[in-house]
Amino acid sequence: MSGKISFESEVIDGDILAIVLRGDLDSVTTPEFDQEIQRHLEAGHKKIIIDCRYMGYISSMGIGSLVALKTRLAKKGGTVKLAAIQGPVMQVLRLVRLDKVLDMYGDLEFARQSFHDKAPTAEA
């Protein structure tokens, strides 16, 4: 746990906010993450990708923040997608079965493309 976090934000494809998260999402950094997200929500962003390739650790508080973000965006007709989750972070998310709840993609580009894929009209 580093206690340090930074964000790089960029709007891609006109309406998708991509946030590259650098650092751990733990009890020290989650409030700062929540403030950053709140700022973007207030700016009207409803499609968010969080690139997690530089995240080495996530605590229960960080997990709660991601789940809350998903819920908040869903109520506004939006969604959050996680990209490039690796190592211990992926193990934790699988352990608590959030890999079944959160939309996760191998990298930022796959997450970006998923916003443009047409949803299936019926299941086979």
Q: How far apart are CA 97 and CA 35, in angstroms?
A: 26
Region 48-76 average pLDDT: 95
pTM: 0.87
Domain range for 35 is 5-110
Instruction: Tell me how many domains the chain contains.
Output: 1
- Start-to-end CA distance of the chain, whole Å, equals 44
CATH number of the domain residue 45 falls in: 3.30.750.24
Q: Which of 117, 32, 122, 27 is nearest to 19 (CA)?
A: 32
Residues 47, 77: contact at Cβ < 8 Å?
Answer: no
Residue 122 belongs to some domain of the structure = no
Where does 1-124 have alpha helices with state H? 30-42, 60-75, 87-95, 108-114
Tens of pLDDT along 83-92?
999 999 999 9
Residue 55 has pLDDT above 90, yes or no: yes
For the cut 70, the answer to whether the pLDDT of residue 117 exceeds it is: yes
Q: What is the pLDDT of residue 5?
A: 86
Residue 119 pLDDT > 90, yes or no? no
- pLDDT per position as a tens digit, 101-114: 999 999 999 999 99
Q: What's the mean pLDDT when you consider all of the chain?
A: 90
* Residue 16 resides in a domain: yes
Integer Cα distance of 77 and 99 in angstroms: 21
Place of tokens 């086979």: 124
